[in-house]
Amino acid sequence: MKKSAASEQTDSVEKTPAGKRTAAGRKAAAGKKTAASKKTAAVEKSTVGAKTGAAEKTAAAEKTAAKRTATKKTAAKKPAPLKRQAPAKKPAVAPKKAAAAVKGVAPAKTVAAEPPSGESRTALVRRARRIDRELAEVYPYAHPELDFENPFQLVVATVLSAQTTDLRVNQTTPALFAKYPTPEDLAAAVPEEVEEILRPTGFFRAKTKSVIGLSKALAEDFGGEVPGRLEDLVKLPGVGRKTAFVVLGNAFGRPGITVDTHFQRLVRRWRWTAETDPDKIEAAVGALFPKSDWTDLSHHVIWHGRRICHARKPACGACPIAPLCPAYGEGETDPEKAKKLLKYEKGGFPGQRLKPPQAYLDAGGKPAPPLGAG
C-alpha cells in the first residue's frame, strides 16, 4: 500500500537532519584527525630536524677539535729553532788594593801572554822586542822624569806623583826638600805646613799623611835609609808595587817593570796582553823580555805614551813604530796634523824635569820652568 505524500514528506524531513548531522559529524571528525595528524607530523619533523642539526653541530665540533689536536701534534714533532747564545762574558778582574801587594812581596810570577788572533807566541815575542828596540832609538835619553838626588827624594816624589803630572811634582818638591831634607825632618813636620807646600799636587791632605807616615817608618824601622828590597818598600805608607819598582830600578839599579796608566794603555794597544790588573800586566809583559831590560823598557813605553801615543788622540801619523802597531788608525793618521799633537821635546816644548840629565839636554830637550815661572 502506497504511503501518502504527507507521510513521505514527513519521513524525508525526519531522516534528512539526522543523516546530514551524521555525515557532517563524520566529516568534521575526519578533518580533526587529519589536522592532528598533520600537527603531529610537523612536531615530529621539527624534533627530527632539531636532532639532526644538533648531530651535525656535534660532528662539526668534533672535526674541529680533531684538526686542532693534529696541528698540536705536528707542532710538537717539529723541532723548535735553536736560539743563538751570546758568548760568555769574561769576568772582570778588579784591581787589587795596594795593601794586598804586601802578601805577594816577590815579583809576580810570569805567565804566558795571549797573542793576538793569528799571531803565534814566538811572533809576539819578536814583535814586542822589536818595538822596544825601535823605541830605544827614538828615546835614547829616556830616564825617570822625577827630579831626585837620593832614594829618599825619589820615593817621596813618586808617592806625590799620583793623580798629577811629574812636572807638577818637580815644581813642588824643591821647597819640600829644602825644608825637610831627611826622613827624620819630614817625620817631625807639622802636617798643616806640609799640606800648604803640597797643595799644588792635588789630594794634598792624603799625600801629606803618606809622606809623613813613610818618613816615620824609615826613621823608626830602617834607620833613616830607604830599603832596597821589594818586600820592605811595599810596607811603607803609600808605597805599592809600582812605586817600589820605580825606586828599585832607578835608585838601586834593580830591574823592575813600572805599570802606570801609560804603560797599561800601550801594551794593550800593542796586544802584548789583554790583562787589566797591574800585577797580571807586569807578569805577562815581563815574560816577553829578559829581566835586564825591564827598567829601560818601562821608560821607553812611558815616554812614548806621554809624547806620541796619547790616550784620547794618538798621533798615529807621526809614530815611528806604526808598521808594528795593531792599533794604527785609532788616532790622527795625517802626518801634518799628527805633528801638532806631539808633546814635550817631540813637539818642541820643555820636558818635565827642572834638572834633566845631560844626555837629554844634548839631544835637544829643554828643562821645565820652576813653579810660578812664565
Residues 202-218: pLDDT tens digits?
Answer: 999 999 999 999 999 99
CA distance readout (Å), 20 to 16, 27, 29, 94 = 6, 10, 14, 124
Q: What is the rounded average pLDDT for all residues in the chain?
A: 80
pLDDT tier at 68 (50, 70, 90 boundaries)? low
| Amino acid letter, 245 | F
pLDDT tier at 118 (50, 70, 90 boundaries)? confident
Query: Residue 322's pLDDT is what?
Result: 97
**Contact yes or no for 138/313 (Cβ under 8 A):** no
Which position among 207, 242, 280, 346 bears the catalytic label? 242
What's the angle, vertex CA 128, arms to CA 125 and CA 133, rounded to 5? 120
Task: Give yes or no: 362 in active site.
Answer: no
Which position among 260, 339, 343, 366 bears the catalytic label? 260
Residues recorded for the chain:
374
Q: How far apart are CA 280 and CA 188, in angstroms?
A: 38
Say if residue 223 is exposed, middle or buried (CB neighbours under 10 Å; 0-12, 13-18, 19+). Answer: exposed
Least confident of 4-13, 49-58, 86-95, 188-197: 86-95
Matching residue, cell 810570577: 109
**Contact yes or no for 131/321 (Cβ under 8 A):** yes
pTM equals 0.69
Task: Give yes or no: 2 in active site.
Answer: no
Helices 294-307 & 241-251 angle (0-180, nearest 10): 110
